[in-house]
């Protein structure tokens, strides 16, 4: 099993990897399909109009997550990793005004969002909770092409047939032959023991099958630069977040207080936790505002990993750029195992799959750069994930604001605590990481749908929207 570090960590935009980035990517794929010869195009037929319908969690929380806007932007040919967040409102306004989408390389297609973009809460699609159907029609309204896509978490998108193949074959999209093809934590530890390599070294060797060392390092540095920029921007911004809940940004105010305490040398027994929390909140406030973020492994959990890396740089005297690379490689190894054997999708298993996975990845990365053995790293990931088991995904008003922003702060705190506990042991522990991942999968399957990113239960129905 090989899932690249650049699949786990993808640069994109908020507020959601599954509900924003995924639908945008699906729309891009549909545009490519229209131009291809991979469908039975009737002789003389020409696509004149497009339609989209959102299903399941995409329908229930799509407005709050900006899913409809993501579809519009994707049908304009814009991609999550390159779109300028500041241009998005203007693009949407143009489409609403003209009733047309004009992707590069295509003719203009009729697409009137008010009529052609449907939030269908009555018709779930069978493959996954995050389903969408895209259709192409001729000038007389006859359907020429329809494709179902599923946004399966972390920005990953598959068609209905691709999803069936993945479920049947239990494999990732990549068939690269790599030297350390671990698909479980048990296999990872066995390969580390037999090879004498660290988890980061094994992950690096796998990545270098498909790219040079220089390209790998440059890519890892780009990921961290994007994460750091997101933190820094989040620490500068003030005001209310969009969406109608009137939630105010707090990261800048908290950061200003921490800087004042730092300068005055006042004793603060929870200082490390405060810094962790403010870094995580800065990222997730940016995500909630639709800013540039990195899936880690999702947008809803995007603050945990950057916060712990910034914590590492802030408090660890030996922290350096190579340490950041090793952190990201180790975290990606753990994230790949979780995604392969369970899920990172809140709509599939609840927030245990998002913040829980992020916390496990962060704990592993931090343990690695602080000198942990593979066994201690696996232990750190297990501790962090275990103490997120059963966590629901119940965003108020379908927005990634309450409880999502603070939840990332607590996920980062748990990650550091888990790494610290693991490093104080010898790696021998009672619950294997694989057992914890399987428990998360089973718990997610048993969890009521109203607690899986539908905003039909939990805080979403017990907090007054105002």
- 343-379 tens-digit pLDDT: 999 999 999 999 999 999 999 999 999 999 999 999 9
- pLDDT number for residue 1: 85
Distance of alpha carbon 211 from alpha carbon 334, whole angstroms: 21
- pLDDT number for residue 267: 75
- pLDDT number for residue 176: 77
The stretch 171-191 carries a mean pLDDT of 85
Token code pair at residue 115: 């009529």
Query: How sure is the predictor about 199, in pLDDT bands with cuts at 50, 70 and 90?
Result: very high
Share the mean pLDDT of the chain.
95
Please check whether the two domains, 16-169 and 185-462, share a CATH topology: no
Query: How sure is the predictor about 265, in pLDDT bands with cuts at 50, 70 and 90?
Result: confident
Query: How sure is the predictor about 174, in pLDDT bands with cuts at 50, 70 and 90?
Result: low
Number of Cβ within a 10 Å radius of residue 146: 14
- pLDDT number for residue 173: 43
Question: Which residues, 6+ apart, have CB-to-CB distance to 115 below 8 Å?
Answer: none
Token code pair at residue 111: 């697409």
Residue 21 pLDDT > 70 = yes
For 185-462, CATH number? Answer: 1.10.4100
- 438 CB-contact burial (10 Å; exposed 0-12 / middle 13-18 / buried 19+): middle
Higher pLDDT, 172 or 339: 339
- 433 CB-contact burial (10 Å; exposed 0-12 / middle 13-18 / buried 19+): buried
Residues paired with residue 120 on neighbouring β-strands, in sequence order? 55
- 419-453 tens-digit pLDDT: 999 999 999 999 999 999 999 999 999 999 999 99
Question: Which residues, 6+ apart, have CB-to-CB distance to 415 below 8 Å?
Answer: 304, 308, 358, 359, 360, 362, 363, 366, 384
Can you say whether the dihedral through the CA atoms of 453, 459, 464, 465 is positive or negative? negative
- 88-139 tens-digit pLDDT: 999 999 999 999 999 999 999 999 999 999 999 999 999 999 999 999 999 9
Token code pair at residue 261: 């305490």
Q: Dihedral (C-alpha) 390, 432, 348, 418: value to the nearest 10 degrees?
A: 60
Residue 170 pLDDT > 70 = no
Query: What percentage of the chain exceeds 70 in pLDDT?
Result: 98
Place of tokens 């060392």: 213
The stretch 254-262 carries a mean pLDDT of 92
Distance of alpha carbon 146 from alpha carbon 149, whole angstroms: 10
Task: Name which of 163, 183, 155 is nearest 334 in CA terms.
Answer: 183
Distance of alpha carbon 65 from alpha carbon 132, whole angstroms: 15
Place of tokens 């929380």: 61
Question: Which residues, 6+ apart, have CB-to-CB distance to 59 below 8 Å?
Answer: 119, 120, 121
Task: Name which of 65, 96, 46, 55 is nearest 404 in CA terms.
Answer: 65
Distance of alpha carbon 77 from alpha carbon 59, whole angstroms: 22
Distance of alpha carbon 151 from alpha carbon 157, whole angstroms: 5
- pLDDT number for residue 464: 64
CB 427 within 8 A of CB 379: yes
pTM score: 0.92
CB 294 within 8 A of CB 10: yes
Residue 465 pLDDT > 60 = no
The stretch 79-88 carries a mean pLDDT of 93
Residue 402 phi, psi dihedral angles, 5° rounding: -120, 120
Question: Which residues, 6+ apart, have CB-to-CB distance to 12 below 8 Å?
Answer: 20, 21, 80, 81, 155, 292, 293, 294, 295, 299
In 267-295, which positions are buried (b, 16+ CB within 10 angstroms) versus exposed (e)? eeeeeebbbbbbbbbbbbbbbbbbbbbbb
What size, in residues, is the chain? Answer: 466
Higher pLDDT, 173 or 429: 429
Superfamily of domain 16-169: D-3-phosphoglycerate dehydrogenase; domain 3 (3.30.1330.90)
How many helices (DSSP H) and strands (DSSP E) are in the chain? 20, 9
Residue 440 phi, psi dihedral angles, 5° rounding: -60, -40
- 235-256 tens-digit pLDDT: 999 999 999 999 999 999 999 9
- pLDDT number for residue 165: 87
For the chain, the structural domain boundaries read: 16-169, 185-462
Task: Name which of 188, 227, 175, 179 is nearest 3 in CA terms.
Answer: 175
- pLDDT number for residue 172: 46
- pLDDT number for residue 87: 94
């Amino acid at each position: 099993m090989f899932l690249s570090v650049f699949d786990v960590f993808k640069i994109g935009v908020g507020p959601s990897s599954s509900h924003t980035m995924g639908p945008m990517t699906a729309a891009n794929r549909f545009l490519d399909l229209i131009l291809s010869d991979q469908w039975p195009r009737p002789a003389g037929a020409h696509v004149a109009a497009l339609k989209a319908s959102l299903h399941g969690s995409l329908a229930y929380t799509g407005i709050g997550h900006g899913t409809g806007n993501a579809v519009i932007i994707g049908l304009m040919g814009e991609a999550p990793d390159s779109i300028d967040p500041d241009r998005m409102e203007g693009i949407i306004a143009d489409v609403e005004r003209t009733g047309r989408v004009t992707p590069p390389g295509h003719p203009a297609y009729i697409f009137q969002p008010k009529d052609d973009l449907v939030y269908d809460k009555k018709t779930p699609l069978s493959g996954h909770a995050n389903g969408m159907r895209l259709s192409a029609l001729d000038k007389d309204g006859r359907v020429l092409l329809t494709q179902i896509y599923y946004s399966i978490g972390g920005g990953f998108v598959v068609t209905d047939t691709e999803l069936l193949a993945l479920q049947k074959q239990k494999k990732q999209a990549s068939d690269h032959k790599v030297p350390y093809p671990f698909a479980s934590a048990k296999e990872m530890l066995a390969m580390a023991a037999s090879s004498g390599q660290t988890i980061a070294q094994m992950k690096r060797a796998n990545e270098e099958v498909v790219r040079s060392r220089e390209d790998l390092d440059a890519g890892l540095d780009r990921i961290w630069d994007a994460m750091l920029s997101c933190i820094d921007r989040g620490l500068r911004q003030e005001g209310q977040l969009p969406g109608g809940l009137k939630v105010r940004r707090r990261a800048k105010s908290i950061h200003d207080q921490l800087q004042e305490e730092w300068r005055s040398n006042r004793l603060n027994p929870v200082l490390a936790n405060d810094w962790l929390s403010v870094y995580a909140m800065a990222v997730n406030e940016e995500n909630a505002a639709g800013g540039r973020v990195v899936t880690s492994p999702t947008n809803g959990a995007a603050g945990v990993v950057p916060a712990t890396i910034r914590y590492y740089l802030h408090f660890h005297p030996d922290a350096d750029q190579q340490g950041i690379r090793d952190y990201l490689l180790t975290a990606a190894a753990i994230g790949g195992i979780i995604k392969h054997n369970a899920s990172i999708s809140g709509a599939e298993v609840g927030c245990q799959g998002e913040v829980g996975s992020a916390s496990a990845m962060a704990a592993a990365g931090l343990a690695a750069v602080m000198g942990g053995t593979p066994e201690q790293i696996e232990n750190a990931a297990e501790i962090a994930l275990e103490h997120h088991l059963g966590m629901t995904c119940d965003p108020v008003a379908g927005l990634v604001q309450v409880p999502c922003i603070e939840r990332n702060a607590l996920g980062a705190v748990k990650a550091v605590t888990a790494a610290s506990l693991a490093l104080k042991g010898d790696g021998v522990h009672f619950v294997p990481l694989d057992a914890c991942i399987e428990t998360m999968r089973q718990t997610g399957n048993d969890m009521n749908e109203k607690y899986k990113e539908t905003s039909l239960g939990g805080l979403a129905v017990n907090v007054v929207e105002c």
